[in-house]
Amino acid sequence: MKTDARWHCTRPTSRGGKCEQGPGPDGVCCKAIPKCRPKLTLRAKRARATRWIASLAVGFLAVIFAYAGDINLLMPGPLNTAHSSLKSCGDCHANVSSGEFDWIHSIFGPSDPVKDSGACLKCHKIGTDALNPHNLALDKLAALTERHQAAVQANTEPIMASFRQALFPAGKTFEKGVFCATCHKEHQGEKFDLKAMADVQCQTCHTAQFSNFKNGHPQFTDYPYGRRTRVIFDHSSHFSEHFPKALADNKNVKSLPGVCADCHTPSANSGLMAVKPFEQMCSTCHIGQIVGTDRATGPKGITFLALPGLDVETLREKKADIGEWPEDSEAEIAPLMKLLIGWDEERREMLRTVEKLDLLDLTEATDEEIAAVEKLVWEVKSLVYQLAWTKTSDVMKMQGAAMASEVDPKLLASLTANLSRDVLLGVQRDWLPNLPTEVLRHRRGEPMTPATAPDPVEEPGDKKTEGEGLDTPPEKTADGSKPDQSDILSGDDSILAENKNDDILSGDEAKTPADKKDDDILSGDDSILAENKDDDILAGEEKESEVAATDKPVTKEELPAPMAAEAWAEFGGWYRQEFAVLYKPVGHKDKFMQAWLDFSGRQYGKADSNLASPVFDRLTGKDAQGKCAKCHSVDSGDGDSLKINWSPFSVTNSLERFTKFSHEPHFGLFGEKGCVACHEINGAAKYQQTYKANDPKVFASNFKPVEQQVCTVCHQKTAAGEGCLLCHIYHVENISTPIMQTKLPGK
């Protein structure tokens, strides 16, 4: 209230009464009264929240219905280009089904990384141990870990590594395996490298923790030589001895290598150095050793079949039932033939008995030993008969049945090297003329001593007319007498005529189909077919004529000397010599040699088929024909089996390798020193001696190990890089994406 230009407080006592200061000059109370602000009740607050939630839900559902077919809306990020074709979350995430709104379950439901990894393995085939570290079986992994820990030097563990191990113990983290998503993180962008990994990811598991490649990384141990080379090539002896000698003798100078690249070339993936083929680099010096031209003594071929030398005279005295047998043979029983004969225990026992005897002197042999020799004779004859008169494959299949393994047609062709039937028929014709008759009579149980001439026996299932027989009938029987007089080729003048006077081939000039001698076309009379000698073109007169003739005989000295069978087979193949059938290797990669070494190597040392061992030993010996084992190493296989390494190491069998290396980027870094900068010759290594054993892991390399310091010169973080994946491989098993099993239309 204002009186006389002054404001006075009129507040009643009920509202607090007058204040001491009173109102201000403008009449405003000195105590401001706040505005009224009512507080919402709990019920009012719930109502407001409900209205907001309802509005948001309606809006969210509107968006979902509008974009229900597009999963990009729900993705945490775009997929990599390799996976861009995937249209459903359920393709990768096991907890998402195929319904349009089942994504809701993926938000609130638990994830299953094992099943999620299974979705990856539908396309990417890694193997049975895909979720194990490095895809290795646990027993292999344990052995490698133990070996690695033993080789690692004691280093102080970095602080960060200790911290990581304390927070995320590797043993517990990967108890159920290393899932695919552990290393390969999707939804990082179209161009993101799914295979990229940080070094810290690798060191999470590895017991050897270190800061960088130069400091703390385990030292190399014999890298990269983990086993001996499959092909035996002594670089040291070739560089220091063989090549200089060839140069001094001026032999094969053009074929001698001058630099490493003359023999080695980068492989398809640049990781390995491939070796140029034998024909380009080795054949000039070594082909003669293979085909036998450099062989000084002994046959150049492998004896496949032989008629062993026997004491026929003693066998005849003891009335042994062997039929005819060449008395001049001094051949031995070849290992290959023993293997063909000894396909069951009874025959192997017979061979063991015969091996103890001197077959060329059986005067002291017991009756049991004579019986064993007798059985050997018929086994040899039966083998020759089966090879010549039945299919060769039937004989070889007996070996497969004896060893409980099937011999496939391709292997059969190589084991026999397409042995010609004519060769076997020649064996029978020249060495065992009456073989078919003898074998069939023996099978009927008819005894035949060396002095008994066998009677002809009709071949079962083969009707023969009178006069038909073998390709070339024998001139004599086993006892030396002439064959039966009914033979039209026996030479008896009485055949085809009742008496000699009727024989047109008898040579009797008195009885001819003509009235006089002059008409006999075979009489030798000069007057035949002409009125006088001057017109006789067969008269033999040394006069000018349209047909030149001479009576001068050809002397023995003028005839060419018979060529030895072995010399005739200069290009390899089958030949007969000294009562034996031999095979001479046909150059490098001979299928016959390879097949028999593989076949006998698989059976090596087995008690029930130990006849294979001598075959393998003979073909791999120091003086063996073909010289296969001179360059191709032998490794132990399953059990007591042996394996020939026919090819050098290649990327096709590079499984379970943890390191990778590309040669090509390093070629220009070392100048003329080149390969030797890393691969330094170790002249003191006893390289050749390590091949006497069959363990490829026990060896002495031709080269000194590559030192780590050679690599650290360039491989640093600020230079060529030192990341783990630069040199190391995680998946040691091959990863493949097989072609889809698409069915043909209509099937």
* CB contact at 8 A, 303 and 334: yes
Within a domain: 473: no
According to the model, what pLDDT value does residue 170 have? Answer: 62
In a domain, 53, yes or no: yes
pLDDT at res. 221:
81
Interatomic CA distance for residues 603 and 613, integer angstroms? 7
**Token pair in block for residue 330:** 């001094």
231: three-class secondary structure by DSSP: strand
DSSP letter (8 states) at residue 632: B
Q: What was the pLDDT predicted at 639?
A: 84
Helices (H) and strands (E) in the chain, counts: 26, 9
* 62 in the same domain as 7: no
Residues 403 and 513 reside in one and the same domain: no
Q: What is the distance between the alpha carbons of residues 667 and 273, in angstroms, rounded to a whole number?
A: 12
Are both 437 and 508 inside the same structural domain?
no
Domain count, the chain: 4
For residues 332 and 427, membership in a common domain is answered with yes
How much is the pLDDT for 90?
A: 79
Integer Rg of the chain from CA: 48
pLDDT of 478: 41
Kindly state whether residue 207 falls inside one of the protein's structural domains: no
Neighbours of 132 (CB within 10 A): 17
Sign of CA dihedral 625, 630, 633, 638: positive
d(CA 485, CA 493): 10
Residue the block writes with tokens 């074998």: 439
480 domain residue, yes or no:
no
Report DSSP state, residue 634: E
Separation of alpha carbons 266 and 275, rounded Å: 9
Residue 13 shares a structural domain with residue 65: no
Residue 674: how many other CB atoms lie within 10 Å:
16
Can you give the residue range of the structural domain that contains 516? 495-524
Residue linked to tokens 């179209």: 190
> Do 354 and 333 meet the contact criterion of CB atoms below 8 Å apart?
yes
Is 703 strand, coil or helix?
Answer: strand
**Which pair of structure tokens corresponds to residue 727?**
């040199």
What is the predicted pLDDT for the residue at 542?
47
* Same domain? 309 vs 380: yes
Q: State the DSSP string of 613-652.
A: HHHHHHHHSTT-TT-HHHHB-EEE-STT-EEE--S---GG
Residue 114, pLDDT score? 86
DSSP notation for 214-229: TTBPPPPSSTT-SS--
Residues 421 and 321 in one domain: yes
Residues 326 and 406 in one domain: yes
Q: What are phi and psi of 275, to 5 degrees?
A: -100, 135
Question: Token pair of 574, please?
Answer: 């089958």
Q: Report which secondary-structure segment, H or E, holds 274.
A: strand 273-275
State both tokens at 365: 């042999």
Domain termination site, one of 67, 92, 111: 111
Only one residue has tokens 């070094």, namely 199
Cross-strand bridge partners of residue 3:
6
Say what the pTM is.
0.69
CA separation for the pair 367, 1 (Å, rounded): 162
Both 345 and 390 in a single domain?
yes
93 located within any domain: yes
Across the chain, which has 747 residues, the per-10-residue mean pLDDT values are 76 76 76 75 89 90 64 72 83 74 62 86 86 87 80 62 65 75 88 87 76 82 86 93 90 85 83 87 90 86 94 92 92 91 89 94 94 95 89 71 64 86 91 92 82 44 40 42 39 40 41 43 42 45 49 81 86 92 94 93 80 92 92 91 89 66 87 88 91 90 91 90 89 76 71
pLDDT for position 401: 60
- pLDDT for 85 equals 84
Q: Are 599 and 606 spatial neighbours (Cβ–Cβ below 8 Å)?
A: no
- Residue found by looking up tokens 């009742």 in the block: 498
- Which helix (DSSP H) or strand (DSSP E) does residue 290 occupy? helix 283-291
Q: Is residue 466 part of a domain?
A: no
The residue out of 74, 96, 111 marking a domain boundary is 111
Task: Classify residue 413: in a domain, yes or no.
Answer: yes
Q: Do 576 and 520 have their domain in common?
A: no
How far is the C-alpha of 586 from the C-alpha of 287, rounded, in Å? 10
**Main-chain phi, psi angles of 589, to 5 degrees:** 60, 40
Closest among 646, 640, 607 to 626, alpha carbons compared: 646
**Pair 351, 427 in one domain:** yes
Q: With respect to residue 739, please indicate whether it lies within any of the assigned structural domains.
A: no
Angle CA(647)–CA(648)–CA(654) in degrees, nearest 5? 110
- 428 shares a domain with 365: yes
**ω into 299 cis (within 30 of 0):** no
